[in-house]
Amino acid sequence: MTPLDTLESQSIYIFREAYARVDRLGLLWSLGKDSNVMVWLARKAFFGHVPFPVLHVDTGKKFDEMYAFRDRYAAEWGLELIVRDCPPVEEMDPSLPPAARSAARKTAGLNALIGERGFKGVIAGIRRDEEGTRAKERVFSPRGDGNVWDFRNQPPEFWDQYRTDVPEGCHLRIHPLLHWSELDVWRYIKRENIPLVDLYFAKDGKRYRSLGDRDITFPVDSDAATIDEVIAELQTTRVAERSGRAMDHEAEDAFERLRVAGYM
Can you give the binding site for another protein, defined by CB under 8 A?
1-6, 8-9, 12-13, 16-17, 19-20, 43-49, 51, 128-129, 131-133, 135-136, 138, 151-152, 154-161, 163-165, 178-179, 181, 187, 191-192, 238-240, 243, 252-253, 256
Rounded Cα distance, 8 and 192, in Å: 11
Q: Rounded to the nearest whole angstrom, what is the least distance from the CB of residue 140 to another protein in the complex?
A: 10
Q: Rounded to the nearest whole angstrom, what is the least distance from the CB of residue 144 to another protein in the complex?
A: 14
Kindly tell me which of 83 and 170 has the beta carbon lying closer to another protein.
170
Rounded Cα distance, 229 and 36, in Å: 20
Q: Rounded to the nearest whole angstrom, what is the least distance from the CB of residue 116 to another protein in the complex?
A: 20
Kindly tell me which of 84 and 179 has the beta carbon lying closer to another protein.
179
Rounded Cα distance, 128 and 138, in Å: 10
98-125 burial string, b = 16+ CB within 10 Å, else e? ebbbbbbbbbbbbbebbeeeebbbbbbb
Kindly tell me which of 41 and 57 has the beta carbon lying closer to another protein.
41
Rounded Cα distance, 72 and 251, in Å: 38
Q: Rounded to the nearest whole angstrom, what is the least distance from the CB of residue 90 to another protein in the complex?
A: 27
Rounded Cα distance, 88 and 102, in Å: 9
Kindly tell me which of 112 and 243 has the beta carbon lying closer to another protein.
243
Kindly tell me which of 51 and 87 has the beta carbon lying closer to another protein.
51
